[in-house]
Structure 1
Amino acid sequence: MIDSKYKWQLEKPADSTLVERLVKDANIDPFIASMLVQRGITSAESAEDFLNPAVSAFHDPFLMHDMSKGIERIQTAVESGEHITVYGDYDADGITSTTMMYETLSDLGADVDYYIPNRFTEGYGPNVEAFQKVIQKGTTLIVTVDNGVAGNEAIAAANSLHCDVVVTDHHSLPEKLPDAYAIIHPRVKNDDGDAYPFGDLCGAGVAFKVAQALMDEVPSDLIDIAAIGTVADIVSLRDENRAIVKFGVQAISNSQRPGLLALIKEAGIDLGRFSEEDIGFGIAPRLNSLGRIKDAMVGVELLSTFDEERAESLAKFANQQNDLRKSLVDQFFTEAVQSVEDSGDSSPRRTLVVVGHNWHQGVLGIVASRLVDKYQRPTIVMTDTDGSNDLKGSGRSVDHFDLFKAIDPIRDQTVGFGGHHSAVGLTINKNKVALLRDQLEKAAEEQQLDLSAKTPLNIAGVMPVSKITTDLCEKIKTLAPFGQDNPKPVFQIQFDQLANVKVMGKANDHLKFSLVQGNNRLTAIAFGRGSAASVLQNPQTTIQVVGEIGENTWNNRTTLQLMVDDLNQTLPPVLDERTRELHRQMFAHAGVYVFFHERVFKQLQGYVDNQSQAMMYDQITGASVNGERLYIVDCPDVIDDLVKLLAKVQPQTTVLYLYKKQLLSKIGMPDRNSYAKLFRFVKEHSNINIATQLKQISKHLHISARTIIFMVQVFLELDFITIQNRVVNLNPNYAARDLKSAPSYHLRVEQLAAEKKLLVSNTHELVSFVKDCLGV
C-alpha cells in the first residue's frame, strides 16, 4: 500500500473575476493570471513587478540599519590604506558573500584579504582566536559577511585590540547586539523605528547591498554571485531576492567568470537552458561541499580567479569534494538506518538519536535530514572520534516540533549547543546520550508531537495529461525563479493508466513510469520511490500522482516530464487478490476477515490481530463491516452464500483472496460412463476396501482416485452401496434413483459454478460481479 508522504491541499480555483480583470489590465495569458492570483498578485502593477522586475526593484541600500556608518568606515579604511579582512562563513551563502565583498573592496583599491573559519576546528561565526590572528597580521578593520550579529565575545576582543568590526549579517537577532562599529542588518530597526523594506535578504543579499552602497550603483557584475548565495540559502524569492535571482540567472548564462564556467562544466549543466534549479542542484551543493568536507577558502578563489587553468583545477576539486560528500552521506545513511532498525527505535520512539563511529562531521546534518525524510520524526545524528569522550552532531526536525526548544532545557548538560526550530548543532559527553534521548521523548510528549501529522503540500490544481504541452511549460516558466514563497506549481495529474513502470538508479531506488491519457503520454520520475514499483506494476492499482511539470533534455532532445512530489494509492471498491496460498502477512491489515469454511477459519483466525475481526460468513451483520475493509478469505462452495453476504454490507473496500487449494474444475463432474464403470465393478466385487484398494481400482478403471471417492459418496447417499469399516458392498435392495438427487452431486454442481464465477473468471468479470452484488 502506497500512502501519501504529504497532506495534499488542493487550492481553491483562483477567483474568476480577479483573473479576468488581471488578464485584461495586464494583457497576460489566463493561465498565468490564475497562477498569479493564487499567489496573491491581483493588480496589473504587481503582476508587472513580479513577471518583469526592473532595476527599480532594488531598494535604497542606505535604508538599512547602520549602512551609512558602515560605508563611511570602510571608505576611510580604503582611503587610508588600512588592512581590511573580510570574515566569512563556510557555506555557499558565506562563500558568495565573501567573494562579493572581497571583489568590491579590491576594485576600490583596498588592502584586503579574506578569512573563512574552519567548520571543524573553529565553528561558525566570529571566533576570538581567529580575530586575534588576523589582527596580529595587521588588520584594523574586519568586515563580517553572513555572520557576526551574535559574535559579542569576539567583537569585544577585537575592540580591545583597537580593531573595528563592521557586521553585515541576516541571521536571527540575539537579545543583545554586539558592540560592533556598525551592524548592517535588514531586520535591525533604525533609530526612527523603521526597518529595511525587505527583511528576507540572505548574507549574499546583504553583501550585495553593501556593494551597491559602496559603488553608488547596482553592481551588475556581482549579480551572478549574489543569485547563487540567494538560491543556496533558501530565502524568500519575493521582492529584492526575486530581482537578484532573475537577473542573476541571466547573468550566469552569459558569465565570463572562469571559475563559475568551469564549475558549471563539471556539474554537467547546460548553460543554454540555465535556471535557478541548476544553482540549487548543481552549483550550490559543490560550493557547500568544500566547507563540509575540508576548507571553504578555496571557494572564494574559485569564484573570483581569472586564471582559467587554476579555475579548472579548483572546479575539479569542488566536484571531487561533492562526490565524496555524496558517498559519505550514502554510507552513513545506510549505517544509520541499520542502527535504527536493529535498535527497534523506528517504531516505539517519537524521536531518534543515532550515534556513529568516526563519521565525517560535515555531513551529519544531511544524514539527519534523510532520516527525517524516511522516518518522519525529529532526528539527531552524532559521531564519536578516536581519543575524545565527546560526541558532535546535528539535528533536523519535522514542521510541528521545535527541536531547539526541546533540547534547550538540558543546555547546561551539553558541551556546546545552538540552532533554531528545525535544525540544531550540539556537542555532548558520551555519557549524556541517554539523557538526550529521554529529553527528546519528554519534549515530544510536552509538544504533543503527532507522528501521523503530515507536512502540507499545496496543489495548484488538477491537470489532465492531454493539457500538458510545451506551451503550458513555457507559461509556467514565466513564473520563475521558483523557491521559497514562490514555489513551482504542483499539479494533480489526471490520467487513464500507468505504463512502462520500472526502477532506475544504481540501487534501483528511483522510479520511472508513463502517465497515459488517450494518445497522450507523459514521462514521470519519482526519486526515492523505487520500492513502489511492484505495486504500480499491478494493473489493479489505482494511484494519484502530484508533481511539477518540466522538461528533460537528453542527447539534444527535449521532452516534457513530471517530477513527482508524491503518490497516493486509492483502493478501488473491489480488489482482486486471488491466491492459492495464505500467509500471516495477508492478515496484517485492519479489517474484517470472512471465512466460508470452518476448518480454514480455525486454522487461520490466530493470524488476525486485535485491531481486526475474523468471522464465519453466517455471523456477519451489516454493522460489523460497514465502512471497514472486508477480506473474503476463502472461496464459498455456493455462490449464493457470497451474494447474500455482500448484499447486507457496505465495506470501504472488498479484498478477494478466495483461497482454494485445489480446483474441482480441474477434475470436473464424472460422466455417466464413469458412474456405470464403478457401479459394475462394485456389483462384480464384494468387500472392496476403499482405503487399501483405491489406487488399484483407479488404475483398473482409469478414473482418478478423487473422482472415485466422490462417486462412492454419491452412491452411498442414493443407497446403492453400503460402507462398513471402509469396506464397500453393493446394497442388495438398491432401487434406481436419479444421480442428481444426491446431495454431494448437487453440491459439486454448486462448487463448479462457484469456481467458474469466482476463480476461473478474469479480473474484470470477477470485479464486475462483486460490485453488482455490493451495489457499487
Structure 2
Amino acid sequence: MQTTHTTHVTNSQKPQMQPSFHPVIQRIFDKRDMGPKEITEFLSWDLKAMPSLTSMKDLDISSKRVIEAMDNGEKIAIYGDYDVDGTTSCALLYHFFKMIDVEVGLIQPSRFIEGYGIHPPSVDKAHEDGYKVMITVDCGITNNEAADRAKEIGIDLIITDHHKDARDVMPDAFAIINPNRRDEPENSELRALAGVTVGFALAVQIREDLIARGQDIPSLYPLLQFAAIGTICDLAKLNPTNLKIVRHGLKQIPTTQYHGIKAFFSPEERKRGFVPSEKLSFNIGPLINSKGRLDHPEKALQLLTIEDDKKAFEFYSHLEICNKERKFIQAEVFNSAKEQVLKSLDGKEHVASIVYSADWHEGVIGIVASKLVETFKVPAIVFTNSEQDGIIKASARSAGDLNLFDCLAENSELFLKFGGHKAAAGLSMPKENLSVFKKNMLETISKVPAIQRTVQNYFDVEIEPHEINPKLLKELEMLEPFGMGNQKPLFKMKNFRLDSFDLLKDVHVRWNLSSKKDPTCKLKGISFNYIGKWGIAHPEDLYNAQERDDDELTAYFTLGVNHFNGNQYIQLMIERIES
C-alpha cells in the first residue's frame, strides 16, 4: 500500500516492543513457532510495510473512468451486498466521495428479491435512473449476465470484489478489481482482503490520481474504521496486511467522527479507548446484518452514512429491535435443524449436517449452519425454500481445514447459482436435486481425512490459575485483533476447584473457581447458552465429579474483562469444563 498521501503514522502511534513478555504470552509465541522477527512483524502497525493496495489489476482504468465521470457530471452508483462487508463497503465509498464533493447513489439488493450479487434487472433500473457508472462492492465476480447487460445498454460496470473467480470466464465488465481474480498473483497477501478494503483501494487510487493533477484531497485514514469492521465481520484472514488495517481502524473508533459508528458505543466504552475486536464480531456485525437477514438492509446503510446523532440513534434502535427478532427466529430454526440432525444419527460416522425445511427463514440459515458446525463439529449445509417455486437455497459452512467450496464445486451441475469461499458458500438449486446432492456431498466429504474435515478440540497453551493477572490481560490486547487466522488464545487449566456455580436464565452458567495450590486465588467465569449444549456435562455433575479423588477438572476458556457498574474484573469465558 502506498501511504505517502493516505496516512501518516508517527512513532508515538506504534506500540513499543517490550523487551520481555508475560510467560503465558511468550508460550503462545513459542507454540506458534514465532521468533523475534516473526513477533515484530506480527505486532507491527507499520502501514508502509504493507504491499501496495494499488497494485491490483484494473485500478488505474477504473480510477480514470470515475474521474472522467466526475468531470463530465455523469451519475455514479455504488452497488453493494447486503451483509456487513457490503454495507461497510458502500458506506466507505459514500464517505470517500463526500470528501471530494461528489454525490453518488447507493443501491443494495434484498436478500429475498434480487438475492446475492448484481443481476440484469438491477442494471436496467440503474439505467432508468440515469447512472452511467456502476461500482459494485463485495459482489459481481460471478455475475456475467449483469456485466453483459450493462455493456449492452451503455453502463460502465466496475466490479470490486474479493470472492473466488469461479465462472468459466470472468464477467465482460469495464473493469474488475479483485485480488482473487484468476490472473492475480497466487501468493499475494492481498488475496485475504475483505471486500471493503478492495473498495478502499479504489478510493486510494482515485485520490492519488486527483492529487497528481494538483487537487488537494483529505487523508483517507479515517475510512479504515469501516475497513476494520468489514474485515473482522466478514471473517477475512488476519494476515499481516489485514492485521495492520484493522488495528488502525480500531484505534480511531473511540474518537470517531462518524455518527453511525459512534452509535454502537456507550460513552463509557469510548472513554476506555481500547476497542476489542469481539465488539465488532459479536455486537456490531450482528446488528448491521440483522436488517438484511429479515427484510431490506437499507436502515443499516443509512445508519453508517447519516450525519446526525439523533437520527443515528433512531436507526441504531431500529437495528436493536430487528436483531432481537432475528435472535428469536434463529433460535427456533436452530432447534428445529438440530433435531433433524439428531434424528439422522444412526451410529455411523456423522460426516456432515445437511438439513432442509420449507418453513425456515432464509435470512438466518447462514448463522444456523455455523451453529450446527459448532455443535456437531462437522460441515453443515442448511436448505430452505426460496421465493421461486421449486427452488431451494442453502448456506454452507465448513469445519476444520476442509475446502467446502471445492467439495460443492464437484456437484455444481446440480446448482442454479453458486459462490463463496473455502469456509463458507451459498447456492440455489431445484428441490428435486436435494437427495442426489446429499448423497454426492456425503461421499465427497467422506473421502477427505476426518482430521481435516472436523472441528478438532484444541487449546493454545496450558495455564496455571496464579498466572491469570492484569499484566496478562494487558499484553493479550497487543495480540489484537482476533479473528480468522489469529484466533483469541484458548487456554487449558487444571489445578483448580469448582467452588460453586449459578444458573442464569436457565441456560447460562456463572462459575466460581479457586486455585488448589492457593485457595486465596479466586477466579470468576461465565458460559453463555451452556445448559443443553450437545455433549457438555452439566455443572452439577462436574461439581460432584471433583469430590472423587481420581477425578480432576479441566477448563478450556478465553480471557476477558467484565465491566459492570464502574468496576472491572478478569473473567474466564469458559467454553467447556471436563472431568
TM-score (norm 1): 0.64
Cα deviation digits, residues 323-367 of structure 1 (max 9, x gap): 111111111112223344455568675333323242210101211
Q: Quick one: which amino acid aligns to residue 370 of structure 1?
A: K
Aligned equivalent of 1:558, options 530, 552, 568: 568
Q: 2: distance between equivalents of 1:447 and 1:48?
A: 36
Counterpart of 1:127 in structure 2 is 119
Counterpart of 2:556 in structure 1 is 546
Q: 1: distance between equivalents of 2:345 and 2:40?
A: 55
Task: Extract unaligned runs of 5+ from structure 1.
Answer: 1-23, 570-776
1:536 aligns with 2:529: no
Distance 1:264 1:390, change over 3 A: same
Q: 1: distance between equivalents of 2:111 and 2:388?
A: 19
Aligned equivalent of 1:42, options 20, 24, 35: 35
Cα deviation digits, residues 707-728 of structure 1 (max 9, x gap): xxxxxxxxxxxxxxxxxxxxxx
Shift of 1:383: 2.5
SS at match of 2:458: strand
Q: Quick one: which amino acid aligns to residue 53 of structure 2?
A: P
Counterpart of 2:246 in structure 1 is 245
Q: 2: distance between equivalents of 1:542 and 1:25?
A: 39
Q: 1: distance between equivalents of 2:526 and 2:431?
A: 43
1:280 aligns with 2:250: no
Q: Residues 259 and 304 of structure 1 are in contact (CA less than 8 Å); yes or no, is this contact kept in structure 2? A: yes
SS at match of 1:424: strand
Q: Which has the higher contact order (CA 8 A, sep 6+)?
A: 2
Q: Quick one: which amino acid aligns to residue 547 of structure 1?
A: F
Q: 2: distance between equivalents of 1:452 and 1:103?
A: 42
Q: Residues 401 and 449 of structure 1 are in contact (CA less than 8 Å); yes or no, is this contact kept in structure 2? A: no
Distance 1:130 1:556, change over 3 A: same
Q: 2: distance between equivalents of 1:101 and 1:75?
A: 14
Shift of 1:224: 1.3
Q: 1: distance between equivalents of 2:297 and 2:570?
A: 37
SS at match of 1:559: strand
Q: Residues 120 and 149 of structure 2 are in contact (CA less than 8 Å); yes or no, is this contact kept in structure 1? A: yes
* Deviating more after overlay: 232-241 vs 434-443: 434-443
Aligned positions, number: 541
Shift of 1:560: 1.0
Q: CA RMSD in A?
A: 3.0
Q: Quick one: which amino acid aligns to residue 241 of structure 1?
A: N
Q: 1: distance between equivalents of 2:346 and 2:356?
A: 13
1:204 aligns with 2:205: no
SS at match of 1:537: helix
Cα deviation digits, residues 172-197 of structure 1 (max 9, x gap): 12352222222222345879x79755
Shift of 1:144: 1.2
Shift of 1:130: 0.6
Distance 1:284 1:139, change over 3 A: same
Aligned equivalent of 1:183, options 172, 176, 180: 176
Counterpart of 2:468 in structure 1 is 468
SS at match of 1:383: strand
Counterpart of 2:391 in structure 1 is 390
Q: Residues 407 and 439 of structure 1 are in contact (CA less than 8 Å); yes or no, is this contact kept in structure 2? A: no
Aligned equivalent of 2:145, options 147, 153, 159: 153
Task: Extract unaligned runs of 5+ from structure 2.
Answer: 1-15, 209-217, 532-536
Q: 1: distance between equivalents of 2:75 and 2:454?
A: 54
1:261 aligns with 2:254: no
Cα deviation digits, residues 599-626 of structure 1 (max 9, x gap): xxxxxxxxxxxxxxxxxxxxxxxxxxxx
SS at match of 1:199: helix
Q: Residues 369 and 382 of structure 2 are in contact (CA less than 8 Å); yes or no, is this contact kept in structure 1? A: yes
Distance 1:441 1:168, change over 3 A: closer
Q: 2: distance between equivalents of 1:489 and 1:293?
A: 34
Q: 1: distance between equivalents of 2:235 and 2:369?
A: 18
Shift of 1:47: 4.3
Distance 1:269 1:203, change over 3 A: same
Shift of 1:151: 2.1
* Deviating more after overlay: 494-503 vs 416-425: 416-425
Q: Residues 511 and 529 of structure 1 are in contact (CA less than 8 Å); yes or no, is this contact kept in structure 2? A: no
* Deviating more after overlay: 56-65 vs 229-238: 56-65
Q: Quick one: which amino acid aligns to residue 515 of structure 2?
A: V
1:78 aligns with 2:70: yes
Q: Residues 100 and 208 of structure 1 are in contact (CA less than 8 Å); yes or no, is this contact kept in structure 2? A: yes
Distance 1:529 1:105, change over 3 A: same
Q: Quick one: which amino acid aligns to residue 436 of structure 2?
A: L
Q: 1: distance between equivalents of 2:18 and 2:446?
A: 52
Distance 1:25 1:372, change over 3 A: closer
Identical counterparts, % of pairs: 27
Q: Quick one: which amino acid aligns to residue 563 of structure 1?
A: M
Counterpart of 1:512 in structure 2 is 511
Q: 2: distance between equivalents of 1:477 and 1:521?
A: 22
* Deviating more after overlay: 431-440 vs 316-325: 431-440
Q: 2: distance between equivalents of 1:407 and 1:153?
A: 22
Q: Quick one: which amino acid aligns to residue 262 of structure 1?
A: A
Counterpart of 2:87 in structure 1 is 95
Q: Quick one: which amino acid aligns to residue 159 of structure 1?
A: K
Distance 1:448 1:47, change over 3 A: closer
* Deviating more after overlay: 238-247 vs 48-57: 48-57
Q: 2: distance between equivalents of 1:418 and 1:190?
A: 19
Alignment of 1:431-580 (within 5 A): 431-447=432-448, 449=450, 454-455=455-456, 457-459=458-460, 461-504=461-504, 506-510=505-509, 512-517=511-516, 518=518, 519-530=520-531, 531-538=537-544, 539-540=547-548, 541-569=551-579
Counterpart of 1:62 in structure 2 is 54
Shift of 1:259: 1.8
Distance 1:500 1:300, change over 3 A: same
Q: Residues 405 and 421 of structure 1 are in contact (CA less than 8 Å); yes or no, is this contact kept in structure 2? A: yes
Shift of 1:96: 0.5
Shift of 1:41: 4.3
Distance 1:450 1:68, change over 3 A: closer
Q: 2: distance between equivalents of 1:354 and 1:25?
A: 49
Q: Residues 392 and 428 of structure 1 are in contact (CA less than 8 Å); yes or no, is this contact kept in structure 2? A: yes
Q: 2: distance between equivalents of 1:213 and 1:304?
A: 22
Q: Residues 212 and 218 of structure 1 are in contact (CA less than 8 Å); yes or no, is this contact kept in structure 2? A: no
Q: Residues 286 and 319 of structure 1 are in contact (CA less than 8 Å); yes or no, is this contact kept in structure 2? A: yes
Q: 1: distance between equivalents of 2:235 and 2:487?
A: 11
Shift of 1:232: 0.8
SS at match of 2:463: strand
Q: 2: distance between equivalents of 1:25 and 1:418?
A: 42
Q: Residues 414 and 437 of structure 2 are in contact (CA less than 8 Å); yes or no, is this contact kept in structure 1? A: no
Q: 2: distance between equivalents of 1:356 and 1:233?
A: 26
Distance 1:366 1:379, change over 3 A: same
Counterpart of 1:213 in structure 2 is 205
SS at match of 2:139: coil
Cα deviation digits, residues 449-468 of structure 1 (max 9, x gap): 57995525241x22211121
Cα deviation digits, residues 426-477 of structure 1 (max 9, x gap): 3344444433333333334444657995525241x22211121111211221
Alignment of 1:334-413 (within 5 A): 334-342=335-343, 350-384=351-385, 388-399=389-400, 401-413=402-414
Shift of 1:559: 0.8
SS at match of 1:263: coil
Distance 1:172 1:256, change over 3 A: same
Q: Quick one: which amino acid aligns to residue 500 of structure 2?
A: N
Alignment of 1:702-717 (within 5 A): none
Shift of 1:406: 4.5
Q: Residues 400 and 449 of structure 1 are in contact (CA less than 8 Å); yes or no, is this contact kept in structure 2? A: no
Q: Quick one: which amino acid aligns to residue 520 of structure 1?
A: C
Shift of 1:309: 2.3
Cα deviation digits, residues 665-708 of structure 1 (max 9, x gap): xxxxxxxxxxxxxxxxxxxxxxxxxxxxxxxxxxxxxxxxxxxx
